[in-house]
Chains A and B, each alone.
Chain A
Amino acid sequence: MGVSATAQPRVGLFVTCLVDFIRPTVGFAAVKLIEQAGCSVEVPRQACCGQPAFNSGDRATTREIAEQVIATFAPYDYVVAPSGSCAGMLKVHYPELFHGDPNWLPRAEAFAAKTHELISFLVDVRGVKRVDAAFAGSVTYHDSCSGLRELGVHAQPRALLASVRGLELAELRDADVCCGFGGTFCVKYPEISATIVGKKVANVAASGAGTLLAGDLGCLMNIAGKLQREGSQVRVRHVAEVLAGMADGASIGEKGEP
């Protein structure tokens, strides 16, 4: 790996609430990948990035949460999140929240500058070109919206997946189209959300791949849940699980130890 061996940068892992609560395996995969990229990882006590409040129009609560997150992660060289959506919140939307605030805007901007989505951190910041992992089978990849359009995560996961021994990538039709999760959208407008994810799983099935990967647990839970409801055998995992060589256990929603 193309990593300088001088001082190890300290990375504060922003776990994200869904990974913390639903699928800790993704967090451990992220830790492994960040460490392999020559960094030390710490996990300060944390809750949520504030997106539910932000997207519900509660700007005051969002700001309070943002101030807390920025302060919590002040000691670290980098903040890394295994989610394009949460990383987009931290990197793109936090500075917006403090627009015109001479006190907090510079702090929010400095925080944004050192914050990265996991896979783009590995590739773009740490210069990782390949991973040491194997995965037998074909996978397809869904580009989560925030990662793709707010952070430009597209080539990076494909580049690293190409280095996984035994893995075959079958491109997903309309990979860049939303899966219909949308945070609170999926519970506010469940029928519309279900229709959108229905199209997504049809494309997943058409890809012929045995496993669907993406970089955001919200999308993954949505797609996995729909595939399973339809009786599909396609498995669903966070891309970090495969890249870290931690994709042997149960997939999302599957019975057993992950």
Chain B
Amino acid sequence: MSEIVTSPAFKENARAALADVDLQQALKSVEVNFIAKRRASADKLPEFEALRDAARDIKDHTLAHLDLYLEAYEQRLTAAGGQIHYAVSAEEARAIILGICRKVDAKTVTKGKSMVGEEIAINAHLESHGITPVETDLGEYLIQIRGELPSHIIAPAVHLTKAQIEADFRRVHTHLPADRNLEEHTTLLAEARAVLRERFLAADVGITGANFLVAETGSSIIVTNEGNGDLSQTLPKIHIVLATIEKLVPTLEDASQILRVLARSATGQEMSVYTTISTGPRRPDDPDGPGEYHVVILDNGRSSMLGGDFQDMLRCIRCGACMNHCPVYHAVGGHAYGWVYPGPMGAVLTPSLIGVDKAGHLPNASTFCGRCEAVCPVRIPLPRMMRRWREREFERHLQPATMRYGLAVWAFLAKRPRLYALATSAAAFGLGWLGRAKGRFRSLPLAGGWTRHRDFPAPEQRTFQAQWRGRKRR
């Protein structure tokens, strides 16, 4: 597990995020760009909704028979000359990867974008053992030079403005002329490309994630927009695929079905620019490719989600649509969530992986507006599962005492409609009378959370039920 967990401080993180002018500026692009593009590409495809059903069904089927597909995958992979490693925990995965790197005395490792890599904090581990990891996805490269976690699962540096990126490049790329032009997006890109190109050629090991592991062929599939994944996996002597158990799909046909909703849901593209399938190491007549091909399959708590309340979360294909459509994510960005996975998918997955005692805020920090579920390409019932986490917290008495007592008082009344009517009638009369001159309150005791930011309307002085019964009597 990544050591940097600030999820318990979600409230403080959120407050800081709301006050961060650069972040607020950068977050506008999430709200504007991703949503309209997804909408347009979904609207263009008449079968889009049917494809979402198909994607959900493929994942459900695979999860129901995960053991079978895992075995089949291992067989095909081994037959193709690949080596498989199973890691129960993040620690085990780190040790396996370090072991492979050490065998070839690796000095630098290039990395394609991998959220699982973030989950196990592989970079810090390699660095502490004298191996230099180089992120090759532009967004990942940016957060690496800033020492940050990704703030979005497909756009890791979406929290940055162009001005911040320019400043970081000037700070880190000191070998380049100080007066160079970095005003344009294109000049920034060109500089990153030039810097990274040298690193690709020097790398001893390449690590990538996987969007899919295909049982039928023993292949792994990655999708990228920059082609960096291809260079990370074909140039070095060794390619390590780091993936979690739920990435399996039965066949290439299944993978291509899901690909049809993946990019559309993520960026609104019909397909990502590069879809790369790799199966084992370089064969004798291949022009290039790695000499060794390793797949590290990580569990890290996922197998315990199978058969339980949170199994549906394992359908997730990491498109990011849920956070792109989340009003809370739009307000605070990804870092506030305090670990690797932000937004609605993180609010469900993070408690499963690091514990609800640490991540308890995440499933609570949702208005249950349901937009995430409405756009999820594999139809994960995200709000329902966040509510499940709240139930776990309630059972374990993890919520603040004030909330528990408040709820208990309310529940006592709500279960007794006559008493409830008396209490609300008295309160309506009192509040209504107090507020009669202005029609609303600028501040109210015990309601500071509300009235710090908005007025509270004064009730009409008699409740509806009291008025209704009064009319009936007349």
Contact = CB atoms under 8 A, between A and B. Distances in A.
Contact of B467 (A24, A55, A185, A192): A24
B439 interface: yes
Given A21-B459, A57-B392, A182-B368, A189 B11 contact: yes
A24 B460 contact: yes
B367 A145 contact: yes
Given A24-B462, A146-B370, A226 B454 contact: yes
Given A24-B467, A45-B465, A54 B387 contact: yes
Interface residues of A, number: 70
Contacts of B14: 189, 191-192
B450 A149 contact: no
Interface in A138-185: 145-146, 149-150, 176-178, 180-185
B465 A46 contact: yes
A19 B15 contact: no
A59 interface: yes
Given A20-B465, A181-B367, A189-B11, A252 B399 contact: no
A23 interface: yes
Contacts of A255: 436-440
Contact of B369 (A46, A145, A197): A145
A186 B107 CA distance: 51
Contacts of A145: 367-371
B411 A221 contact: no
Interface string A22-36: 111101100000000
Given A15-B464, A228-B454, A191 B15 contact: yes
Contacts of B395: 57
A226 B454 CA distance: 5
Interface string A1-33: 000000000000001010111111101100000
A113 interface: no
Contact of B413 (A24, A47, A56): A47
Given A221-B456, A228-B454, A27 B421 contact: no
Contacts of B462: 24
Given A25-B460, A182-B369, A190-B453, A56 B468 contact: no
Contacts of B464: 15, 19-20, 24, 27-28, 43
Nearest to A255: B439
A61 to B, nearest CB: 5
Interface string A72-114: 1000000000000000000000001000000000000000000
Interface in B23-43: none
B437 A178 contact: no
Contacts of B453: 190-191, 193-194, 197, 225-226, 229
Most chain A beta carbons < 10 A, residue from B393, B427, B449: B449
A81 to B, nearest CB: 12
B291 interface: no
Interface stretch (B76-84, B131-139, B327-335): B327-335
Given A43-B468, A145-B371, A197 B454 contact: yes
B49 interface: no
Interface in A110-154: 145-146, 149-150
Contacts of A177: 327, 369, 371
Given A45-B418, A56-B399, A191-B15, A185 B367 contact: yes
A23 to B, nearest CB: 7
B438 to A, nearest CB: 6
B459 A22 contact: yes
B86 interface: no
Interface of B: 11, 14-15, 18, 327-328, 330-332, 364-371, 373-374, 384, 387, 389-395, 399, 403, 407, 410-411, 413-418, 420-421, 424, 427-428, 436-440, 442, 447-450, 452-460, 462-465, 467-468
28 contacts: A21-B427, A21-B459, A22-B457, A22-B459, A24-B462, A24-B464, A28-B467, A47-B421, A56-B390, A57-B389, A57-B390, A57-B391, A58-B394, A58-B411, A145-B367, A145-B370, A149-B371, A176-B371, A184-B403, A185-B365, A185-B366, A189-B365, A190-B449, A191-B18, A225-B440, A225-B456, A225-B457, A250-B439
Interface of A: 15, 17, 19-25, 27-28, 43, 45-48, 50, 52-59, 61, 64-65, 68, 72, 96, 145-146, 149-150, 176-178, 180-197, 221-222, 224-226, 228-229, 250, 252-256, 258
Given A146-B370, A177-B369, A255-B436, 6 more contacts: A43-B468, A177-B327, A180-B327, A225-B440, A229-B454, A256-B439
The 10 closest A-B pairs by CB, nearest first: A182-B367, A225-B454, A57-B394, A57-B390, A178-B369, A194-B453, A24-B464, A255-B439, A187-B449, A253-B457
